[in-house]
Structure 1
């Protein structure tokens, strides 16, 4: 990586850190190394992979001793870029996050510079009003005129908010008396649900044995009749159903659970219905694809990670509920050094007491600024393009004999498929053959990462008897093209043709 210090480095830079100059140089580093969304060149590597022990030898990681000078600090920043995955690269298709919107990045930099803590209007007046505005806008896409919400540190915590509120609504006494006198609570999620629900069951004292798994159909969608059967069985066992987690855009297959029939079941048995739309929530901004989330207005709460499909800077996770004031009633502790009742302004805007946190990062501003720059129509066009590229990719590999789709059509912008090398084509598809196929994706993944040309994920789904397959996830940022999709197909074939 070329030096940014260049000629004319001030002599005192070698002695101490010039903070203002460093910030300017970091901005130059981001721009010159093409780290912004849409700026990576096709020939750039997605990653310069080195193994953990090797990386320890390349970078001085230890702390303590004397301070470093300006040049040394800048060099560490360059190393961070050199050995990091370039998530802004159009061939980084590995996870459910990708590049961040550059306007959102500007918002993140500014809010970090202001170092604001989002718990009272007193210390965060501008950002508090921004959070109110963006949460109301998001609720509008769901179809709620009223309600509440908060930004949380990631989708896993947002999902946990849903469980906590569900328990409080059904058993408000749990806040003061605990769970010992309630009975055996049970929650429900599908086979495809995110693992954070199981972790939440453990953390909240339900126990993972009391998280009941509901079967999904061949496309990964929760089966409403199976949910009702599980609820009835739990009631027969004198257990207390209180929470159902549905998913809009499952992690692997991208499935959208059928919300209307699930809401009917939950209403029938007085169970809170939460939707984990961390990944697939982007469909809400699209007139063309929002049908995937029909019935969303009927649910009780939603997790929506704006840092995923829409490309807000990490992390940006909104928890939304149609139940007004329940967040405050459930979570408030009324700390008198923060939430005094005799303040000189409208204390309804001191929202920190409805959070499980005290200190809370300003995640709303970067999203709000990005939304101001793109508008509803701009974001809708980005979502439509991502879905269209997923459909294009599926059509292309369906025509290639060496590829096989796991699902005939993508649910979301996830496309799941196997690559079948020539040596394994036209063979009997025995258990032994599938065992061979299971080794193909890991082998190709190793080659693509070592080459740095592409990154996409793979996984098995044992509960559906599916061996390792690739999962391509297509983002809004950077804007994908048909050429990008063609490259992925051709590169996988180049890397795997001799297996």
Structure 2
């Protein structure tokens, strides 16, 4: 499928061949060098062929014999005991996992900051006994928010799948860093399988991707590779060596787009907000208008961000129409699907992202709608080789090109990080357990729960739905008895704005559930209910309206 960008810059695909400048930074090869690279296929030499210059490569048997010869006899020791880990494991299973998912338990045992400082000994200094540390761990569980609880609806994540949790524990045990195959062989292969699977779901036939520490960083990657794609000289010359570029995004987009533009030195004045309709979707006509205005002012448009599932309303921008405009003006199109990307796993709801295969890049957070534990985020691009071209520094102590294995599995130079945590195992093991069908069932259930809650809100006295849910965000007002039926004056709205904070205080102190509230534009505080826990069912939606009514009716 064609990209929104025309071929103004060609990325060479030979990852094993690199051209360096005098500072050892990778630079765009000359035409002659590119032709040479494309025609020169690497030859992987066997260990036998590498035994040149009279160097003998020891076999497994000779190494073993040599090791035995020089091995010092270790003193006899008693069988190792792991009493601390055994007891902590039991505690995590019982209180951190089982009780945390029990609807009869509290979502939170709330304490004010100064109170909590008295309840938990946070100070560091002298050595602490195992017994005391285990007691502290018990308190940590007690006073932490139970995000695994089926009635935690506060953020765009929640729940706790046991297979994925097992993957988290195994991840920490292995303590791998994914920059080279030699130190992380299993997870390097695992990443490639998961990335290829998700690329297929997006529709990027021959793309690339990178696990990133969160959706905000993934969006920043997209901003950066898009700039490099159009202006590869920026890597060496910096922003002063390229035109005054600008980016476009919906006024309801995630704030990370603004952070990214500021972080990259472009300046917030060069991020242009596009108007949205009543449902929070970007208006394509206003996008084109803003592009033409920017060009008339002497700016150089280069990037458009479309959101698939906005943070507040859960809106899906019209990707296909935005892609038409990006193609018309030769602009990079990014889709921020951090929240709504999981809909691609559902045949019923994947049409919400119609046209996503036309984008140049996409952010997708499995730790949101897919229920994978934090953090698990990826940035995808259909331009293979671009991540490495943009970010590589060619550290010779890590990325030697004469290694004895296929160095295309050394993915560290695609990233701005050096050490990179293994975020793939918890996703892979969860996918192994659920299969495609299980994930589709879970995604469909979350959408159905959101629709059911919207129906309850419309039918229940005192509740008022703001708009029909597009994702699993349900936004609504609650009107206490004393304010029902009154004229909606500015004073009335001022009173309504106080309802959300008071009801939230009540549910937090009771520990019954957690639902967020917020203002947005001209809207005063309203409830923003998020369904992202795979264990949530429709009866939990009944509980939500009952609990808000109980806490708010007499305000």
Shorter chain as denominator, the TM-score bin is over 0.9
Q: Which residue of the other structure, out of 480, 484, 488, is the alignment partner of 2:544?
A: 488
Moved over 3 A (4+): none
Tell me the secondary structure at the aligned position of residue 320 of structure 1.
strand
Tell me the secondary structure at the aligned position of residue 202 of structure 1.
helix
Matching residue of 1:277: 337
Matching residue of 1:14: none
Q: Which residue of the other structure, out of 93, 110, 118, is the alignment partner of 1:31?
A: 93
Matching residue of 1:48: 109
**Number of residues paired by the alignment?**
476
Matching residue of 1:200: 260
Aligned counterparts, 1:83-482, within 5 A: 83-407=143-467, 409-462=468-521, 465-477=522-534, 479-482=535-538
**Contact between 2:151 and 2:536, CA under 8 Å: does it hold in 1?**
no
Once the 2 structures are TM-superposed, how far is the Cα of residue 43 of structure 1 from its aligned partner?
Answer: 1.9
Task: State the alpha-carbon separation in 1 of the partners of residues 117 and 460 from structure 2.
Answer: 43
Task: State the alpha-carbon separation in 2 of the partners of residues 447 and 271 from structure 1.
Answer: 49
Give TM-score, length-normalised by structure 2.
0.85
- The superposition leaves residues 109-164 of structure 1 with CA deviations (integer Å, 9 ceiling, x where unpaired) of 11211111100001000000000000010111111221000100000000000000
**Contact between 2:208 and 2:385, CA under 8 Å: does it hold in 1?**
yes
Task: State the alpha-carbon separation in 2 of the partners of residues 276 and 422 from structure 1.
Answer: 40
Matching residue of 1:6: none
Tell me the secondary structure at the aligned position of residue 206 of structure 1.
coil
Once the 2 structures are TM-superposed, how far is the Cα of residue 40 of structure 1 from its aligned partner?
Answer: 2.5
Matching residue of 2:63: none
Give TM-score, length-normalised by structure 1.
0.94
Instruction: Give the number of the structure whose alpha-carbon radius of gyration is greater.
Output: 2
Once the 2 structures are TM-superposed, how far is the Cα of residue 288 of structure 1 from its aligned partner?
Answer: 0.4
**Contact between 1:382 and 1:476, CA under 8 Å: does it hold in 2?**
no
Once the 2 structures are TM-superposed, how far is the Cα of residue 26 of structure 1 from its aligned partner?
Answer: 2.1
Task: State the alpha-carbon separation in 1 of the partners of residues 413 and 148 from structure 2.
Answer: 36
**Contact between 1:385 and 1:476, CA under 8 Å: does it hold in 2?**
no
Once the 2 structures are TM-superposed, how far is the Cα of residue 34 of structure 1 from its aligned partner?
Answer: 5.5
Give unpaired runs (5+ residues) of structure 1: 1-17
Once the 2 structures are TM-superposed, how far is the Cα of residue 406 of structure 1 from its aligned partner?
Answer: 0.8
- The superposition leaves residues 184-228 of structure 1 with CA deviations (integer Å, 9 ceiling, x where unpaired) of 111111111111111111110000111111111100001111111
**Contact between 1:40 and 1:90, CA under 8 Å: does it hold in 2?**
yes
**Contact between 1:389 and 1:481, CA under 8 Å: does it hold in 2?**
yes
**Contact between 1:168 and 1:175, CA under 8 Å: does it hold in 2?**
yes
**Contact between 2:157 and 2:533, CA under 8 Å: does it hold in 1?**
no
Once the 2 structures are TM-superposed, how far is the Cα of residue 19 of structure 1 from its aligned partner?
Answer: 7.2
Give unpaired runs (5+ residues) of structure 2: 1-79
Once the 2 structures are TM-superposed, how far is the Cα of residue 42 of structure 1 from its aligned partner?
Answer: 2.1
Q: Which residue of the other structure, out of 44, 62, 71, is the alignment partner of 2:123?
A: 62
Task: State the alpha-carbon separation in 2 of the partners of residues 59 and 339 from structure 1.
Answer: 45
**Contact between 1:119 and 1:360, CA under 8 Å: does it hold in 2?**
yes
Tell me the secondary structure at the aligned position of residue 458 of structure 1.
strand
**Contact between 2:335 and 2:361, CA under 8 Å: does it hold in 1?**
yes
Matching residue of 1:11: none
**Contact between 2:211 and 2:377, CA under 8 Å: does it hold in 1?**
yes
Once the 2 structures are TM-superposed, how far is the Cα of residue 167 of structure 1 from its aligned partner?
Answer: 0.2
Once the 2 structures are TM-superposed, how far is the Cα of residue 41 of structure 1 from its aligned partner?
Answer: 2.4
Task: State the alpha-carbon separation in 2 of the partners of residues 248 and 145 from structure 1.
Answer: 20
**Contact between 2:474 and 2:528, CA under 8 Å: does it hold in 1?**
yes
Task: State the alpha-carbon separation in 2 of the partners of residues 261 and 158 from structure 1.
Answer: 23
Matching residue of 1:10: none
**Contact between 1:35 and 1:86, CA under 8 Å: does it hold in 2?**
no
Task: State the alpha-carbon separation in 2 of the partners of residues 377 and 231 from structure 1.
Answer: 42
Matching residue of 2:84: 22
**Contact between 1:59 and 1:79, CA under 8 Å: does it hold in 2?**
yes
